[in-house]
C-alpha cells in the first residue's frame, strides 16, 4: 500500500473503531486532514512508536555493547527511511540462504570478541 492517505485512513478507522468505508461516510475531507495533522503533532503517527522503539534499541545497545569502531548506535540504524513503509514492502532482495545467515552470525559474534 503506497498511498499515505489511504494507509492513514486505515489507522484512523482502527483508532475510531469503524471501517474505512464508514469513516468516509462519517467525516469530511477537511476533518480527515485535521486528524492527520493532529496525529503528526501529537506523535500518534505510526512512525512515532517506531521512533521510540528505535531510540530504546539505540540506548540499550549503547550500554554494555561496544562497536568495534567505538562509535555509538543511533536510532536511525534501527528504522527504515520511510516510516509509512512496512519492512515487507521494502524488502526486494531474496531471502538469505542458511550459509549467508551463518556467515552474518559469525561476523557479528566476531565483532564482540575484539
Quick one: 68 and 89 in the same domain?
A: yes
Residues 34 and 51 in one domain: no
36 and 51 housed in the same domain? no
- Split at pLDDT 50, 70, 90, the class of 2 is low
Whether residues 106 and 55 share a domain: the answer is: yes
Query: Confidence band (pLDDT; 50, 70, 90) for 91?
Result: very low
Instruction: Note the pLDDT of residue 102.
Output: 81
CB 83 within 8 A of CB 45: yes
Alpha helices by DSSP H, 1-114: 4-16, 20-26, 29-41, 46-61, 87-90, 98-113
Long-range contacts of 92-96 (CB under 8 A, 24+ apart): none
Domain holding 18, by residue range, is 4-41
Tell whether 52 and 86 lie within a shared domain: yes
**What is the distance between the terminal CA atoms of the chain, rounded to a whole angstrom?**
43
Q: What distance in Å separates the CA atoms of residue 4 and residue 95, rounded to the nearest whole number?
A: 27
C-alpha of 82 from chain center: 8
Q: Are residues 31 and 80 in the same domain?
A: no
pTM: 0.42
51 and 99 assigned to the same domain: yes
The Cα–Cα gap between 13 and 78 comes to: 28
Amino acid at each position: 500500500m503506497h498511498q499515505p492517505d489511504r494507509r492513514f485512513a486505515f489507522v484512523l478507522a482502527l483508532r475510531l473503531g469503524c471501517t474505512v468505508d464508514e469513516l468516509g461516510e462519517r467525516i469530511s475531507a477537511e476533518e480527515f486532514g485535521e486528524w492527520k495533522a493532529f496525529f503528526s503533532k501529537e506523535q500518534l503517527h505510526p512512525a512515532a512508536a517506531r521512533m521510540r522503539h528505535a531510540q530504546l534499541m539505540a540506548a540499550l545497545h549503547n550500554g554494555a555493547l561496544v562497536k568495534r569502531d567505538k562509535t555509538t548506535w543511533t536510532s536511525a540504524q534501527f528504522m527504515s527511511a520511510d516510516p509509512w513503509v512496512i519492512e515487507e514492502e521494502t524488502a526486494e532482495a531474496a531471502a538469505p540462504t542458511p550459509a549467508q545467515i551463518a556467515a552474518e552470525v559469525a561476523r557479528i559474534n566476531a565483532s564482540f570478541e575484539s
